[in-house]
C-alpha cells in the first residue's frame, strides 16, 4: 500500500485524489492546501487528514509519495521539500515555468534518491496511445504531415495565475505543451520551429491563440494549434503518411479513424478504431506511477523528458515574442535565454 499526500485542493488535485479512491494499492492520507476549507472538504471526501501547512503533510510518517497539483510556480519548492523528506513525487505538468527550476527539481530528487514523474497525461489517453502504436508499427508508412489542435475557453479571472505569462507561461506553456510533448514522443527531436500568437498582445489577458510549425529531425512537419478563445474544450489530431491518414477528433464518437490509400492486405481496408476506454486516463497515469515505484521500471515521463517538453514550449513562446524561428541542436535549443 502506497500512502499519498495530495498537495493542492483545486480542480486537478480533486481529479487525482478521486482517482486514488479507485486504486486499491493506494491510500490518500493527507491533503494540504493554503485554503483550509478547501483542504478539509477534499480530505473528508477521500478519508484523509487536512492541513494548511504543506510541510506537515509532506513530512508526515504515514506518507510515501506526494502528488503535487498546485500552480506551476510552486512545483519547485514543493518538490524540493518532498525530496528533502525522502518522498517520491508525482507532479502535474508543466514540470516548471523555467528550465532552471525544472533542472533543480530533477537534481533534488536525484540527490535524495527519490523518483520524479511528471503528469503529461495525454500519453495515457487511449486514442493517443493507439496513434503512437500505429505510427511506430508503420501502419501509414513514413509520416509527412501532422496537424494537432487543443482548443478551450479562457481560464478567466477566477484563476488569474493561468493567464499571467510570468507565472504560468500562459496558453503555450500550460496547454500547447500537451501536444508538443506528445509529438516529441511520436517523432523524436525537433530541429526548427516557428510560431505566431496573441501571447504578447493586449488581447492575451482575455483570450489567447497560438500556432506553431515544427520540423522534426526525421523530416516530419507538424502544425500545432492551441486556443483559449473557443466556447468549449476539444482536441484533434491528423497524421498523414505515405500509405494513408490517422485521425482523432474528441467531438466524433468513433475515437480514431485509419484510412489506407494503398491496396490493403487480405481482409484489411479502411476501418474505424473505436475507443477502448475502461478507466480515466488520470487514473491510468497514477496506476503507472505506483506500478513503477513498486518494480523500479522507468516512468513514461521522467523529469528529463518533461524538461525537453518545457524547452519546446518556451521556444514556441520565444518565437511568438520575437517573430523569429527557433533552432535546436541534438534536441536542445540552440539559443535560449536564462529567464523569460
Supply the CATH number for residue 256's domain. Answer: 3.30.360.10
**Residue 163: its pLDDT value, please?**
82
Same domain, yes or no: 114 and 127:
no
At residue 61, the 3 state secondary structure works out as coil
55 and 150 in a single domain? The answer is: no
CA distance 76 to 97: 9
How far is residue 209's CA from residue 328's CA, in Å, rounded to a whole number? 24
Strand positions, DSSP E, 130-241:
143-151, 190-197, 209-216, 221-227, 234-241
* Residue 159, pLDDT above cutoff 80: no
Give the pLDDT band of residue 299 (cuts 50, 70, 90).
Answer: very high
pLDDT on residue 279: 78
Grid coordinates standing for 250? 474528441
Pairwise CA distance, residues 34 & 331, whole Å: 38
Cα dihedral 112/80/312/123 (nearest 10):
70
Percent of the chain with pLDDT over 90: 81
**Which helix (H) or strand (E) covers residue 332, if one does?**
strand 332-333
Residue 42: what pLDDT? 97
220 and 270 in a single domain? The answer is yes
Q: Report the C-alpha gap between 298 and 117 in whole angstroms.
A: 9
Position 253 confidence tier, pLDDT thresholds 50, 70, 90: low
How does residue 276 score in pLDDT terms, banded at 50, 70 and 90?
A: very low
Give the pLDDT of residue 95: 98
Average pLDDT over residues 166-178: 95
Q: Which of 77-81, 155-159, 232-236 has the lowest mean pLDDT?
A: 155-159
Which single residue is written with the C-alpha cell 515521463? Answer: 301
Pair (325, 229) in one structural domain? yes
Residues 56 and 203 in one domain: no
115 and 134 part of one domain: no
CA 268/CA 161 separation, integer angstroms = 50
Would you say residue 318 lies in a domain?
A: yes
pLDDT of residue 272: 39
User: Does 230 fall in a domain?
Assistant: yes
Lowest mean pLDDT across 2-11, 119-128, 262-271, 307-316? 262-271
Compute the distance between CA of residue 204 and CA of residue 198 in angstroms, rounded to an integer.
6
Q: What are phi and psi of 65, to 5 degrees?
A: -150, 160
Say whether both 51 and 134 belong to one domain: no
Which residue range forms the structural domain that includes residue 214? 123-278+308-333
Q: Count of domains in the chain? A: 2
Report the range of poorest mean pLDDT among 134-143, 149-158, 184-193, 292-301: 149-158
In a domain, 289, yes or no: no
Amino acid at each position: 500500500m502506497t500512502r499519498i499526500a495530495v498537495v493542492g485542493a483545486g480542480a486537478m488535485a480533486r481529479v487525482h485524489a478521486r482517482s486514488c479512491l479507485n486504486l486499491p494499492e493506494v491510500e490518500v492520507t493527507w491533503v494540504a492546501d493554503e485554503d483550509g476549507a478547501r483542504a478539509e472538504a477534499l480530505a473528508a471526501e477521500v478519508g484523509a487528514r487536512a492541513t494548511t501547512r504543506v510541510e506537515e503533510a509532506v513530512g508526515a510518517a504515514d506518507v510515501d509519495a506526494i502528488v503535487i497539483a498546485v500552480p506551476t510556480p510552486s512545483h519547485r519548492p514543493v518538490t524540493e521539500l518532498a525530496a528533502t523528506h525522502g518522498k517520491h513525487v508525482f507532479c502535474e505538468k508543466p514540470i516548471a515555468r523555467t528550465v532552471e527550476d525544472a533542472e533543480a527539481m530533477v537534481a533534488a530528487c536525484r540527490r535524495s534518491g527519490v523518483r520524479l514523474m511528471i503528469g503529461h497525461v495525454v500519453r495515457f489517453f487511449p486514442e493517443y496511445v493507439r496513434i503512437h502504436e500505429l505510427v511506430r508499427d508503420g501502419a501509414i508508412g513514413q509520416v509527412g504531415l501532422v496537424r494537432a489542435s487543443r482548443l478551450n475557453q479562457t481560464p478567466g479571472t477566477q484563476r488569474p495565475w493561468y493567464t499571467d505569462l510570468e507565472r504560468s507561461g500562459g496558453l503555450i506553456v500550460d496547454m500547447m505543451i500537451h501536444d508538443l510533448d506528445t509529438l516529441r514522443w511520436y517523432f523524436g527531436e525537433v530541429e526548427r520551429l516557428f510560431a505566431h500568437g496573441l501571447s504578447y498582445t493586449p488581447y492575451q489577458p482575455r483570450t489567447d491563440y497560438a500556432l506553431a510549425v515544427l520540423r522534426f529531425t526525421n523530416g516530419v512537419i507538424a502544425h500545432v494549434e492551441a486556443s483559449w478563445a473557443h466556447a468549449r474544450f476539444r482536441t484533434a489530431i491528423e497524421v498523414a503518411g505515405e500509405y494513408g491518414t490517422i485521425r482523432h477528433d474528441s467531438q466524433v464518437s468513433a475515437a480514431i479513424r485509419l484510412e489506407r490509400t494503398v491496396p490493403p492486405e487480405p481482409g484489411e481496408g479502411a476501418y474505424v478504431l473505436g475507443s477502448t476506454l475502461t478507466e480515466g486516463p488520470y487514473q491510468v497515469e497514477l496506476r503507472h506511477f505506483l506500478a513503477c515505484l513498486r518494480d523500479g521500471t522507468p516512468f513514461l515521463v521522467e523529469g528529463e523528458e518533461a524538461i525537453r517538453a518545457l524547452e519546446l514550449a518556451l521556444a514556441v513562446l520565444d518565437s511568438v515574442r520575437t517573430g523569429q524561428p527557433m533552432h535546436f541542436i541534438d534536441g536542445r535549443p540552440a539559443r535560449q535565454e536564462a529567464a523569460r
